[in-house]
Amino acid sequence: MGIDIESIIKSNKYFKESRLRSLYSDFEHQKHLNPEGYEANITAWNDLLRDLLQTHVFDDSVVSFPTYNPDLATLLKIPIYGKPLSLGIILRELVKSHSLIPYSYYNSGNQSYLKVLDKTYKLDDYLSPTSWIKWGLTTVGLGSEFNATTSNGELKHERYISWDLLTKVGNEIWNRIESDILQMGTHSCELSDNQRLFDFMKKVHPTLTKFDCELILTYLSRDVGKCKLLRQDNKVFIKFSSGNITKEDIGIINLETSLFNINKRNEQLEGKIKDIDQKLKESFQINNKGDKLTRQRHLLRLRKILQSSLNHSLGSYNELHQVLLKINDSTQNINVYEQLVSSTFILKDLNASVDFANIEEVKQELQSEFEKSDEISEALGKDLRDDVDIEQELQALDEEVNGSKSESAQAIDSESSELIDKLKNLNIDTTKPKVSESPVETKRVALSVQDHI
């Protein structure tokens, strides 16, 4: 694999050197003697297994891992401590807590796995009776418990799905489907097949494998009900809207698949033509004139053949694409017509609830009730104090607080007015400089003015 597993293990926050002996030991007895330590070990291993998936240790999946090819215990082996001795217990506890799901368990379920997460839901309601022995259930019903090991203590050949990672990636894929595909609003965008959908998933998450895409499709369809599936031969028809998949839907999906394949072929042809153009440019570096001409003629003939094929393929694509557009137009017309019909019935029902003969009578009764409301409001207002009384009370309160002007203040006001009148009537001779008064007199006048102010 080219990945240093030991480094990943020892870099995990729970796998400190001081904890390795306990984590790699047989700690089953601690379940009753030291419950906290037992749970801490299970939590640590759950975190490590998640790290291994996120660092792409397993080639065939980023949301699940097998117990064989490679052998899981051997994969987790480190110097000094060897293989983990409690791996069967760890897997059993993680399945019990729904952190991990056995693939055979998940793949054979007949209802949403979310019901299994409901504590009131019985395990045997999810499983089919023929699978109980296959999954290693020791009992049936509420007491069902998964057993990850065989009778001789070896790990069963199984694959385990990380529920946390599956839901995380699955929800991210769904969000991109909503934003990048369904927002186009056409009927055809709600339809797909597994080939095109898996291609889209890998663009969102390049590390996803085909196996991962199958798991995510099961999650979206069965567990969270985001789409409907119809399997025919090796093809899966997908519908991201309500209602079952019809023959018309299958025809549209097949048309879109043809367009998808033709478009991929066009891209390949365009890439080959670009490569030939580049080789033609490079051929001018050939020194031998005969070899140069032979090389160039060969490339030009090949380019002509590819260009002719591309032109024909582009024409086919345009014709099929026009058909798809017309199908979407027709589907939209049907939707509009159905909405018009539905709206007509709604309007009829609403209008039927109105009696035209009683409209005038209803309006008169309403006016009468308005008048009664005004009378009641007026009657209630008479209990309040009269506005005149309120104004008189406010005036009395103002006089009490502020009072009227004092006689001294009135005298000052009178004297100030006389002084201002005298200043206005003064005649000043501008031809001769006025002899300034004595300092004493000037000071006396200034003080007098200040007192009046």
Give the DSSP letter of residue 82: B
Q: Measured between alpha carbons, how far is 250 from 203 in angstroms, rounded to an integer?
A: 24
Q: Which residues pair with 235 in a beta bridge?
A: 232
Contacts of 184 (CB under 8 A, 6+ apart): none
Which residue shows structure tokens 């998450």?
205
Average pLDDT (196-224) is 95
List b or e across 133-169, with b for residues whose CB sees 16 or more CB atoms inside 10 angstroms: eebbbeeeeeebebebbeeeeebbebbbbbbebbbeb
Residues 74-102: pLDDT tens digits? Answer: 999 999 999 999 999 999 999 999 999 99
Q: Measured between alpha carbons, how far is 103 from 154 in angstroms, rounded to an integer?
A: 18
Q: Measured between alpha carbons, how far is 184 from 439 in angstroms, rounded to an integer?
A: 97
The domain locations on the chain are 5-101+112-159, 246-350
pLDDT of residue 395: 77
How far out from the chain centre does Cα 169 lie?
12
Residues 107-166: pLDDT tens digits? Answer: 988 889 888 787 555 544 444 444 434 444 443 333 356 899 998 889 999 999 999 999
The β-bridge relationship of strands 159-162 and 235-239 is unpaired
